[in-house]
């Protein structure tokens, strides 16, 4: 069982998930600081709840992944991780646009097509 957890260290999808979650947290914090129309302005309760949600998603995947891998079903959990990553990428794009960071016009035009 521990071997399954050791294999996660070299898993590129898990590393990508970690990076995407960190980017989502950073863009969300930046968006809340620069946006003028946030209700009640950013406060620590929203931030703590958000970080706890991200940690729950990440650690749930970390705990479940080795069980699927042992049973030879890592393809299914890889698909789930890719779906979670795509959801975070959409969230990063939304935060990026709402914070009006460089390139958000191109991003808005590209996403508006879909």
Give tens-digit pLDDT for 67-87: 998 899 989 999 999 999 999
Q: How far apart (Å, rounded) are the C-alpha atoms in residues 57 and 50?
A: 11
DSSP string across 16-64: HHHHHHHHHHHHHHHHHHH-S--TT---HHHHHHHHHHHHHHHHHHHHH
- 51-70 tens-digit pLDDT: 999 999 999 999 999 999 88
User: Confidence band (pLDDT; 50, 70, 90) for 111?
Assistant: low
pTM: predicted TM-score of the whole model, two decimal places: 0.81
Mean pLDDT along residues 103-108:
74
Better pLDDT: 57 or 49: 57
- 2-34 tens-digit pLDDT: 777 777 888 899 999 999 999 999 998 888 888
């Amino acid at each position: 069982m521990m071997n399954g957890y050791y294999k996660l260290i070299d898993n590129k999808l898990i590393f990508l998930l970690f990076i995407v979650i960190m980017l989502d947290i950073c863009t969300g914090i930046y968006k809340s600081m620069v946006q003028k129309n946030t209700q009640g302005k950013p406060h620590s309760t929203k931030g703590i709840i958000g970080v706890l949600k991200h940690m729950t998603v990440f650690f749930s995947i970390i705990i479940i992944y080795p069980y699927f891998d042992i049973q030879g079903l890592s393809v299914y959990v890889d698909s789930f991780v890719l779906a979670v990553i795509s959801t975070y990428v959409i969230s990063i794009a939304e935060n990026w646009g709402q914070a009006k960071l460089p390139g958000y016009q191109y991003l808005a035009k590209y996403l508006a097509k879909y």
